[in-house]
């Protein structure tokens, strides 16, 4: 009896301590700074005013940008689903010649993203780009600035978002029980009917979740509209502009709230649909998917052609960036190559000049720390949520979604405004000007995505495994590390890789929070793509981009490449 | 097998960490008082390296942090409680007024304070002027002559022949851009107007944006000036020479009757610095007539230090003599510029 | 009705089926039996059309079907996992094939309900999620789904293998009942010999891609053609050469002591009323008794030869371990290879 009480007390103390620490962290990093920001912006002169609201409502441009953001989000949902589904089916379902090789192309946007990717596309399709030059030599009268505006933004964003989409959907596709497909064929269903009636319904929940993520991504689009948008303006660049003007921050905050509300509504829908738990697989023994031949010759040719065209579209930027990273700045600005253009100088500079390679090291360290900490933390929290399914953990989950509802610029501003002066919440430690604040920022923005993904993996574990371990006398800790973690590990590692890669070239947070001495790569790259930059820094950008791709590829290989091999 | 690569990751990680840690130490170790952090918007085109090198000869170990004027200002304000910078130079007076109001600056009178043009520094000694800069409307002189060019900003939108031929800024955060906008708006100062500007003024600035070609992230203005896409646009005076060489195009300078806006770039000590003495010593050195003269020669600037101004490059001197200074109410501008930019962003651009 | 002629099936350079020749008659319940990995599924799938034989012909009603696509073969299939569509309810699952064939809506409805009542699925179950059904109900849905298309042939690939023992026995009966009710030619795949023996009209025993024996359950059991079949099906007593030598000498039977010989437990009797009726009568000592409820497995030792026998627990066999008894069998029941 006494022993039991002792355990009970110990357990209670532990939960109490965890509760305190988590509450503090949630309030200090996720709630208080944002509320503080809202208060300081909306109650500037002592009283609350609706003035910023009126300003925005009467601003044609702000309303148009908002409208554009929504249009972009909707369009993106359509294009990403079309391209993404096509890719998923040719990668996982149909027999396509050369797919082993093609799929690397389709995954290429996993190894670079954000500003780097858009700059790469701009470099190829922009007014002095290779493709533009090529097209101009055929159609001399065409507009060299053809790659600008809505369609350009949509094009770039479609390609940059599909790789992620494909990863998750392909995973879902591979979980389809092949016997159901054969059963349908046996009953006379055509390929098309099988896809529509048997496979798509199974994929539907995943498609739905990914669609909502796309929508939120489209709403918050930054790099693409900024660089190739031209007249097509969206909301996030505007938020960025206003957040740079102290007196206009209320507008930035308000615009962000618009976006936040939209995201919140969508997330609520998503959670609702998810909780309905669409269906449960009934297969106890599942057979693996076997690739299908497309029987119609004509369709087969068309599909192959589309597959290869997409491959070219995906790989062209990568190949050209790689190529041009070895050329002098003249070749880069004019987009014209000669044999003399090639040089190793750019690489020499990056590897020998400390100021050139430092951003790289800084970004790698920050990203690695972010990835490991976020995934580690969320592993713990997701487990907590799964184990103690009560109103506190439900609240914790909602709070951890806050970063999805606010643009990162706003999160950064909240941190700055709140912790640029000694604050009790942070034990009077000033965070601005420290190295830690950027890490905190990076971690915060990654929380929701990692949480969603890890939670899903935890819930997919057969509960009897845990019970079996406990029954055999394993402690909680042991059960977690020896039984649960090994099952979760592939997902966790994949998330480490994705988090790492997406943090590498982060710009928005970095701009606000980075320590001036240790500027991460995103800043360096953005600076060198700005029109004022001297030309040789543009060449360096290409080297950075190539190196980024190499690192990201290595990370992905370590996680996925080996994973698939082990799977076979 | 699985553990082996984890091990590699950890190894690489710790290696990188120690490498960086090592560097950090060495940069902090040298010359305690004279290692300074300098924030500026004016380190491009080789200015930063030049300054580092020359300062090193005097025993200073300078670390330069460069960003746009507005960003530097916001950064300094954000870091107020825990400042990293010791010295800030190069921003224009508008920014320094804001910094002073935010209590970011430390008053200090450099030894050369009396040598500079009167009225260009802060009367309370919070900041002191280094160089003056004319913010110009320039044109491609291969395509236009003194006779055929627009004679002032308004002509660009009043005369249909120039529509679409001048670049208008898309990012309104830069100091040069803000000065150009201010120089147009102050012509329509009206105490009863919106934000102190008459309706006509707002109409004019709208026409300015409507009839110009927006700047793109992709191509620098000078490239467009050279290839004739937009042969007109804004430029700060000290940037002209170097770009002329780089792009091989000679810029013509428009000299409107009303004059051109002049901004003065300042220097100041950041409040809360732990190296106050070093910072002051640096300012005494950098603002001195001798150094400013060298700086002027190297970077085509126009010092406000009267002694140094004499050794400015002849072309620069001629340039500055050829244009008249526009009379602008800077207090009024500083007070309103942010609101103007906001209004333009929301309603006009 | 169905004929496999010289069928060879290769996966790359691995030959799963070597040279298969088999004939299945109209209305027959035919079972492919064999250990896991011997090629049963492969054979079945080649009939359904998921696999193309690398050699040989498959004939249905005398017509070669090698090149006819799956959906035109009119062969219904019940999968091992049932392969019910998890996103559809029971009704939709059954209706799927009819909809694919573009039947009219009311026709679909009529047929679905008709087949559902035949397999004992009621109205309420029809609109349940398939994941809410029990294993047995799922199986009936799978069968209904296959039968609603009125196939000429029904094939079932280990449909009972992932059910518990009791349910398996129960469903065995139901399945057989359904089959005879519909009278449809059925091919049934299993690795469970008991299942095969109880349900089938005829059985083909597979081993490593070859057929070892085709026959009725009784033929397969009583006259196992090969040592493999003999061992794979039912219990066995291996008869040692020394024992064979002994009975040859003592009982004066014509047997070659060097052959491999077995005798099945059921073929031995201990109730020897008239010793002259049996070819072999020897005395043994009871060394082990394994109680099975209705019967017991009693092991006798004759010298160094052990022979097990199944004996009813009807009090006619209440002997203790250690007692001695006469045991007898016929020479014709010895299986020699
Ligand atoms: N698609 C395939 N590719 C290669 N080998 C296969 C394939 N399908 C089956 N096999 C092999 O053929 C043999 C027979 O398999 P199968 O017919 O499934 O056996 P079972 O009798 O258990 O149903 C096995 O050795 C199996 O490994
Ligand atoms: Mg099988």
pLDDT tens sequence across A254-267 = 888 888 888 888 87
Residue span(s) of chain C under CATH 2.40.50.100 come to: 237-336
Is there a single domain that holds both residue A271 and residue A397?
A: no
Question: B345, A238: Cβ pair inside 8 Å?
Answer: yes
Task: Count structural domains, chain A.
Answer: 2
Question: Could you tell me if A402 and A514 lie in one domain?
Answer: yes
* Mean pLDDT in residue range A348-376: 88
Of all protein residues, the one whose alpha carbon is nearest to atom 27 of ligand 1 is: C37
- Statement to judge: residues A161 and A261 lie in one domain: yes
pLDDT at C291: 87
Helices (H), C81-203: 90-100, 105-118, 123-126, 135-147, 165-182, 193-199
Last residue of one domain, picked from the residues A284, A316, A348 = A316
**CATH number of the domain to which A253 belongs:** 1.10.3720.10
**pLDDT at residue C332, as a whole number:** 87
- Closest to B342 measured CA to CA, from A283, A62, A280, C192: A62
Among A316, A348, A364, identify where a domain stops: A316
CB C116 within 8 A of CB C144: yes
Q: Is the pLDDT assigned to residue C260 strictly greater than 80?
A: yes
Using CA coordinates, name the residue in chain C closest to A290: C50
Rounded distance between C-alpha atoms, residue A490 and residue A565, angstroms: 13
Torsion angles phi and psi, residue A397, rounded to 5:
-65, -45
Task: Domain of residue A473: give its range.
Answer: 325-568
**Mean pLDDT, residues C295-317 taken together:** 86
In a domain, A537, yes or no: yes
Question: Which value does ipTM take for this structure?
Answer: 0.75
Question: Which residue, among A335, A363, A515, A531, would best test binding to B if mutated, counting the most B CBs under 10 Å from its CB?
Answer: A531
**How near does any CA of chain C get to the CA of A278, in Å?**
8
Considering A5-14, A108-117, B332-341, C155-164, the range whose residues carry the highest mean pLDDT is B332-341
Give the closest residue (by CA) to ligand 1 atom 18.
Answer: C41
Residues A304, A340, single domain; the answer is no
**By three-state DSSP, how is residue B266 classified?**
strand
pLDDT of residue A473: 60
Task: Give A-chain residues touching C86 at CB under 8 angstroms.
Answer: 177, 180, 202, 279-283
Q: Taking Cα atoms as reference points, which of B138, B130, B172, B176 lies closest to residue B293?
A: B130
Query: What are chain B's domains?
Result: 32-132+263-321 (3.40.190.10), 134-261+325-348 (3.40.190.10)
Do residues B289 and B308 touch, judged by C-beta distance below 8 A? yes
- Same domain for A343 and A407? yes
**Ligand that lies nearest to the alpha carbon of residue C209, given by its number in the listed order:** 1
How many C-beta atoms surround the C-beta of residue C135 within 10 A? 17
Q: Residue A502: which of A408, A425, A416, A382 has the closest Cα?
A: A408
Burial degree of B197 (CB within 10 A; 0-12, 13-18, 19+): buried
Residue A76 lies inside a defined structural domain of this protein: yes
What's the pLDDT at B21?
Answer: 41
Give yes or no for residue A534 having a pLDDT over 70.
Answer: no
**Which pLDDT value is given to residue A462?**
64
| Residues of chain A neighbouring B78 (CB-CB closer than 8 A) | 416, 420, 432, 512
Instruction: Tell me how crowded residue B101 is: count the other CB atoms within 10 A of its CB.
Output: 12
For residue A190, give the chain C residue with the closest CA.
Answer: C100
Is B308 in CB contact (< 8 Å) with chain A?
no
Which is higher by pLDDT, A4 or C233?
Answer: C233
**Once rounded to an integer, what is the mean pLDDT over residues A288-312?**
90
- 8 Å CB contact of C145 and A197: no
Domain assignment of residue A467, yes or no: yes
pLDDT digits (tens, 9 = 90+) for B226-257: 888 899 999 988 888 878 887 888 999 999 99
Same domain, A332 and A381: yes
In a shared domain, residues A362 and A247 = no
DSSP A94: B
Answer whether residue C9 shows pLDDT above 50. Answer: yes
Residue A173 inside a domain? The answer is yes
Tokens 């870091």 locate to: B79
Which chain A residue is nearest to residue C156, measuring alpha carbons?
Answer: A183
Name the fold adopted by C237-336.
OB fold (Dihydrolipoamide Acetyltransferase, E2P) (2.40.50)
Residue A31 has pLDDT above 90, yes or no: yes
Averages of pLDDT over runs of 10 residues in chain B (349 residues) are: 45 45 38 79 85 92 86 86 91 90 92 90 92 93 92 93 92 86 94 92 94 81 87 90 83 92 93 92 94 91 92 89 88 89 87
- Per-residue confidence band for A277, with pLDDT thresholds at 50, 70 and 90: low
Cβ contacts of A420 on chain B, cutoff 8 Å: 77-82
Strands C2-11 and C55-60: antiparallel
Which residues of chain A lie closer than 8 angstroms to B346, CB-CB?
55-56, 59, 61-62, 251
The CA-atom distances, in angstroms, between B49 and each of A284, A292, B44, B270, B298 are 69, 63, 9, 22, 12
What average pLDDT score do residues A65-84 get? 93
For residue A338, which phi and psi values (nearest 5 degrees)? Answer: -130, 175
Contact B42, B290 (CB under 8 A): no
Residues 6+ apart with CB under 8 A from A363: A503, A504, A505, A520, A521, A522
- Pick the more confident residue, C160 or A87: A87
Is residue A476 in some structural domain? yes
Q: What is the pLDDT of residue B56?
A: 93
Please provide the CATH number assigned to the domain covering C2-232: 3.40.50.300
Task: Count Cβ atoms below 10 Å from residue B259 Cβ, excluding itself.
Answer: 16
Mean pLDDT of all residues in A119-147 = 84
What was the pLDDT predicted at B4? 45
For position B5, what pLDDT does the model report? 47
Q: Do A505 and A363 belong to one domain?
A: yes
Distances (CA, A) of A348 to A330, A343, A345, B16: 18, 10, 5, 20
Considering the domain boundaries, does residue A54 fall inside one?
no
Ligand nearest to the CA of C20: 1
Phi–psi pair at B208, nearest 5 degrees: -55, -50
Residues A385, A448 within the same domain: yes
Which residues of chain A approach chain C closer than 8 Å at the C-beta?
A: 177, 179-180, 182-190, 193, 197-198, 201-202, 204, 278-287
| CA-based nearest distance A19→chain C, Å | 38
Mean pLDDT of A451-465: 74
A362 in the same domain as A287: no
Determine the average pLDDT of the residues in C168-197.
87
Give B97's Cβ-side CA count (13 Å radius): 16
Work out the average pLDDT over A373-394: 87
Q: Which pLDDT value is given to residue A567?
A: 33
Six-digit token pair at C42?
């492969």
Domain stop point among A265, A284, A316: A316
Chain A closest-CA separation from residue B288 CA (Å): 27
Judgement on whether residues A282 and A263 belong to the same structural domain of the protein: yes
Same-domain check for residues A506 and A565:
yes
Between A235-249, A525-539, C37-51, the lowest mean confidence (pLDDT) is in A525-539
Beta-carbon separation of A531 and B77 below 8 A: no
Task: Categorize the per-residue pLDDT at A469 as very low, low, confident or very high, splitting at 50, 70 and 90.
Answer: low
Q: Check residue C292 and give its pLDDT.
A: 85
Nearest-atom index, ligand 1, CA of C51: 1
Task: Give B217 to chain A, closest Cα distance, Å.
Answer: 6
C-alpha count within 13 angstroms, C-beta hemisphere, residue B318: 6
Q: Which ligand is nearest to the CA of C44?
A: 1
Which residues' Cβ are closer than 6 Å to ligand 1? C 11, 14, 16, 34, 36-42
Do the strands B262-270 and B87-92 form a parallel or antiparallel pair, or are they unpaired? Answer: antiparallel
Mean predicted lDDT score pLDDT of chain A: 83
The Cα diameter of chain A in Å comes to: 91
Per-residue pLDDT, A568: 29
- Which of C83, C86, C162 comes nearest A279 by C-beta? C86
- Contacting A with CB below 8 Å, chain C residues are 48, 50, 70-72, 75-77, 79-88, 96-97, 100-101, 129-131, 138, 145-146, 149, 162
For residue B41, give Cα distances in angstroms to A45, A436, B89, B97, C237.
Answer: 31, 25, 8, 16, 98
A538 domain residue, yes or no: yes
Give tens-digit pLDDT for B138-195: 999 999 998 999 999 999 999 999 999 999 998 887 888 999 999 999 999 999 999 9
């Amino acid at each position: 009896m006494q022993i039991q009480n002792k355990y009970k007390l110990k357990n209670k103390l532990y939960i109490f301590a965890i509760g305190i620490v988590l509450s503090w962290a949630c309030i200090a990093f996720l709630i208080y700074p944002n509320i503080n920001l809202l208060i300081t912006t909306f109650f500037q002169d002592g009283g609350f005013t609706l003035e910023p609201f009126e300003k925005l409502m009467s601003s044609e441009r702000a309303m148009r940008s908002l409208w554009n953001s929504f249009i972009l989000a909707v369009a993106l949902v359509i294009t990403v689903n079309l391209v993404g589904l096509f890719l998923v089916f040719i990668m996982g379902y149909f027999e396509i010649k050369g797919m082993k090789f093609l799929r690397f192309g389709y995954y290429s946007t996993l190894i670079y993203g954000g500003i780097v990717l858009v700059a790469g596309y701009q470099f190829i399709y922009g007014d002095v780009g290779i493709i533009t030059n090529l097209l101009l030599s055929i159609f001399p009268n065409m507009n060299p600035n053809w790659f600008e505006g809505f369609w350009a933004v949509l094009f770039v964003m479609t390609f940059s978002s599909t790789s992620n989409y494909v990863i998750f959907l392909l995973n879902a596709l591979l979980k389809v029980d092949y016997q159901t497909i054969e059963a349908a064929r046996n009953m006379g269903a055509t390929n098309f009917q099988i896809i529509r009636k048997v496979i798509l319904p199974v994929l539907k929940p995943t498609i739905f979740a990914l669609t909502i993520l796309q929508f939120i991504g489209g709403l918050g689009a930054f790099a693409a509209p900024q660089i190739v948008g031209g007249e097509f303006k969206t909301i996030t660049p505007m938020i960025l502009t206003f957040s740079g003007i102290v007196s206009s921050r209320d507008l930035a905050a308000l615009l962000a709230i618009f976006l936040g509300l939209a995201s919140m509504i969508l997330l609520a829908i998503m959670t609702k649909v998810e909780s309905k738990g669409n269906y449960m697989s009934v297969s106890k023994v599942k057979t693996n998917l076997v690739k299908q031949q497309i029987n119609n010759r004509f369709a087969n040719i068309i599909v192959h052609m589309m597959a290869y065209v997409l491959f070219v579209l995906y790989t062209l930027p990568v190949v050209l960036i790689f190529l041009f990273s070895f050329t002098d700045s003249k070749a880069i600005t004019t987009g014209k190559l000669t044999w003399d253009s090639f040089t190793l100088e750019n690489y020499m500079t990056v590897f020998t000049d400390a100021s050139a390679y430092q951003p790289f090291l800084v970004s790698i360290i920050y990203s690695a720390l972010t990835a490991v900490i976020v995934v580690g933390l969320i592993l713990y929290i997701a487990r907590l949520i799964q184990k103690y399914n009560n109103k506190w953990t439900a609240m914790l989950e909602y709070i951890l979604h806050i970063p999805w509802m606010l643009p990162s610029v706003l999160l950064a501003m909240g941190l700055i405004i709140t912790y640029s002066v000694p604050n009790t919440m942070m034990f009077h430690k000033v965070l601005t000007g420290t190295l830690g604040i950027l890490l905190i920022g990076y971690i915060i923005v990654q929380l929701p995505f990692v949480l969603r993904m890890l939670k899903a993996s935890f819930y997919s574990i057969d509960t009897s495994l845990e019970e079996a371990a406990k029954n055999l006398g394993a402690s909680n800790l042991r059960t977690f590390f020896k039984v649960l973690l090994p099952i979760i590990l592939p997902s966790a590692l994949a998330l480490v890789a994705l988090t790492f890669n997406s943090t590498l070239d982060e710009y928005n947070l970095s701009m606000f929070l980075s320590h001036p001495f240790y500027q991460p790569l995103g800043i360096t790259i953005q600076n060198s793509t700005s029109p004022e930059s001297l030309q040789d820094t543009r060449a360096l950008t290409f080297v950075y981009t190539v190196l980024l791709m190499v690192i990201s590829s290595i990370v992905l290989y370590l996680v996925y490449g080996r994973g698939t091999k082990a799977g076979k | 097998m699985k553990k082996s690569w984890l091990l590699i990751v950890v190894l690489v990680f710790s290696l990188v960490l120690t490498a960086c840690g090592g560097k950090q130490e060495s940069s902090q170790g040298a010359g305690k008082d004279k290692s300074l952090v300098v924030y500026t918007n004016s380190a491009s085109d080789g200015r930063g390296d030049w300054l580092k090198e020359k300062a090193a000869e005097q025993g200073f170990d300078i670390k330069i942090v460069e960003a746009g004027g507005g960003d530097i200002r916001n950064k300094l304000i954000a870091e107020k409680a825990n400042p990293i910078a010791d010295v800030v130079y190069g921003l224009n007076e508008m920014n320094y007024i804001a910094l002073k109001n935010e209590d970011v600056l430390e008053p200090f009178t450099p030894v050369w304070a009396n040598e500079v043009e009167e009225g260009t520094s802060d009367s309370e000694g919070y900041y002191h002027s280094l160089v003056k800069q004319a913010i110009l409307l320039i044109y491609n002189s291969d395509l236009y002559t003194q006779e055929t060019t627009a004679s002032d900003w308004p002509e660009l939108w009043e005369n249909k022949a120039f529509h679409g031929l001048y670049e208008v800024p898309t990012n309104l955060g830069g100091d040069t851009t803000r000065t150009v906008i201010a120089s147009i708006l102050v012509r329509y100062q009206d105490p009863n107007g919106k934000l102190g500007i008459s309706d006509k003024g707002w109409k004019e600035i709208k026409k300015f944006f409507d009839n110009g070609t927006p700047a793109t992230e992709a191509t620098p203005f000078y490239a467009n000036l050279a290839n004739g896409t937009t042969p007109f646009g804004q430029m700060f005076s000290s940037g002209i020479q170097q770009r002329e060489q780089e792009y091989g195009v000679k810029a013509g300078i428009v000299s409107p009757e009303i004059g051109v806006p002049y901004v003065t770039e300042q220097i100041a000590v950041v409040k809360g610095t732990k190296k106050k003495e070093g910072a002051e010593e640096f300012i005494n050195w950098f603002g001195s007539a001798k150094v400013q003269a060298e700086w002027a020669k190297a970077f085509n600037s126009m010092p406000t230090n009267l002694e140094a101004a004499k050794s400015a490059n002849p072309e620069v001197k001629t340039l500055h003599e050829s244009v008249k200074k526009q009379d602008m109410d800077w207090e009024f501008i500083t007070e309103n510029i942010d609101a103007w930019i906001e209004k333009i962003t929301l309603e006009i651009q | 009705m169905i004929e496999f002629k010289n069928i060879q099936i290769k996966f790359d350079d691995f030959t799963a089926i070597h040279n298969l020749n088999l004939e299945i008659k109209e209305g027959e319940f035919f079972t492919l039996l064999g250990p896991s990995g011997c090629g049963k599924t492969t054979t079945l799938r080649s009939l359904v059309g998921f696999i193309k034989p690398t050699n040989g012909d498959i004939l249905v009603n005398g017509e070669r079907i090698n090149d006819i696509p799956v959906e035109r073969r009119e062969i219904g299939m019940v999968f091992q996992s049932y392969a019910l569509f998890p996103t559809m309810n029971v009704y939709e699952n059954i209706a799927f094939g009819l909809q694919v064939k573009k039947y009219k809506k009311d026709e679909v409805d009529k047929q679905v309900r008709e087949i559902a009542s035949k397999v004992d699925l009621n109205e309420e179950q029809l609109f349940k999620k398939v994941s809410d059904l029990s294993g047995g109900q799922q199986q009936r849905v799978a069968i209904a789904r296959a039968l609603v298309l009125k196939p000429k042939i029904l094939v079932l690939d280990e449909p009972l293998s992932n059910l518990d023992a009791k349910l398996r026995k129960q469903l065995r009966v139901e399945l057989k009942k359904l089959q005879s009710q519909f009278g449809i030619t059925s091919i049934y795949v299993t690795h469970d010999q008991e299942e095969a023996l109880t349900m089938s009209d005829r059985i083909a025993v597979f081993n490593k891609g070859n057929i070892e024996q085709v026959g009725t359950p009784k033929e397969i059991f009583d006259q196992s053609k090969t040592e493999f079949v003999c061992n794979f099906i039912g219990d066995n007593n291996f008869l040692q050469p020394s024992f064979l030598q002994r009975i040859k000498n003592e009982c004066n039977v014509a047997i070659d002591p060097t052959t491999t010989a077995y005798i099945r437990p059921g073929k031995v009797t201990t109730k020897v009323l008239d010793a002259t009726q049996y070819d072999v009568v020897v005395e043994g000592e009871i060394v082990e008794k394994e109680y099975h409820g209705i019967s017991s497995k009693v092991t006798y030792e004759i010298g160094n030869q052990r022979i097990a026998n199944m004996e009813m627990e009807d009090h006619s066999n209440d002997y203790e371990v250690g007692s001695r008894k006469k045991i007898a069998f016929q020479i014709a029941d010895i299986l020699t290879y």
